[in-house]
Structure 1
Amino acid sequence: MVEIEFENPHYEVCECCGNTTVKLTRFVYENDEAFAIYYIHFTKKHNDKHVLGLISLGEWGTDEIPKCRVSFLFRLWFNNGNFNVSIIDGEESPWQSEILGKILSREEALQHPWVTDVFHITDHIVIEDSEVIKYLTNKD
């Protein structure tokens, strides 16, 4: 069973347009064990209404950074009544930290056995993460 721990959003001013950028940090547990972390950011009132996110998987229960930890960059958007997700190339990631493990290219990510876990988590995001849901489905 997957559970998400929701941290309070952080707000910044977008350098390109002056609108509010929202940054989210979420901790994911599976069967009460640390399983993943995800980050999401989006800027309110941007013309291209999507969220950019990164999910990092691979032994989150210790202070050490395991060699197996990897991250998947993705884009979420809402169109014609449906949420959509796309894995994108890790080179586009605004998140850069050793703690995240290797940020995979799109090709690596789509071939990785944990990509099914990524899609499982994104399914939970569009059902449970009210900040993301509200942003993507709001007509403003």
Structure 2
Amino acid sequence: MTLRINPTREPASGVCDCCQTPFERVNGFVNDDDGICGIYYASCYHHNGMHEAWIDVIMDDAWDQEHPATHPGPDRVTFGCRVGPVEGRPAPACSLVTGAEVAPDDPLYGRKLTREHALAHPWLPGYWAVVDHILEHDQTVNRHLYGAH
């Protein structure tokens, strides 16, 4: 399976509600050979001097290629992770969290998986493949986590 980020990704910036520091956010589609593989939202923060990213990926086994956001399939789910410093690790690490936890409840997200539900979900390997692709190929996320600080 070949993954690619759709070039119509949408970067934005804002100010964190909890600490008033600037952040960058990007969302877009990750496609595979069959079309849409996932919709992702990556938020890049500088909390307490740490570079971290929170990545939510919406996955569905019945994508409506014409209207993916407004026509969810019955199995649609959202996975989430935090990527950043972890004690005892020299490089940023990924930790599962509740998907789209701070986003409003909306059919776009389907079922927001908790860490426990995500660990048991059969699509978890696909989620990690998408996250790896985002970390390597989304210029905003890659620069934030691995670029010169």
Normalising to structure 1: TM-score of the pair?
0.86
SS of equivalent to 1:18: coil
Shift of residue 62 of structure 1? 5.0
Tell me the equivalent position of 2:3: 2
Tell me the equivalent position of 2:130: 121
What runs of 5+ residues in structure 2 fail to find an aligned partner? none
Quick check: 1:83–1:126 contact (8 Å CA) kept in 2? Answer: no
Tell me the equivalent position of 2:56: 54
Query: Residue 45 and residue 76 in structure 1: after superposition, are their counterparts in 2 closer, same or farther (change >3 A)?
Result: closer
1:21-60 superposed Cα distances (whole Å, 9 cap, x missing partner) = 2111020111051121010112246433211110110033
Structure 1: distance between partners of 2:97 and 2:22: 24
Partner letter of residue 95 of structure 1?
A
Structure 2: distance between partners of 1:53 and 1:111: 19
Q: How does 1:31-42 map to 2 (within 5 A)?
A: 31-42=33-44
Matched, 1:94 2:96: no
Q: How does 1:73-112 map to 2 (within 5 A)?
A: 73-77=80-84, 79-80=89-90, 82-90=91-99, 93-96=101-104, 97-112=106-121
Q: Please give the root-mean-square deviation of Cα atoms over the aligned residues, in Å.
A: 2.0
SS of equivalent to 1:68: coil
What runs of 5+ residues in structure 1 fail to find an aligned partner? none
Q: 1:66 aligns with which of 70, 73, 77?
A: 73
Quick check: 2:59–2:77 contact (8 Å CA) kept in 1? Answer: yes
Normalising to structure 2: TM-score of the pair?
0.81
Structure 2: distance between partners of 1:65 and 1:8: 21
For these two proteins, the number of residue pairs brought into alignment is: 138
Moved over 6 A (4+): none
* Range with greater deviation from structure 2 (44-53 or 60-69): 44-53
Structure 2: distance between partners of 1:118 and 1:87: 11
Higher relative contact order (CA 8 A, sep 6+): 2
SS of equivalent to 1:113: coil
Q: How does 1:123-138 map to 2 (within 5 A)?
A: 123-138=132-147
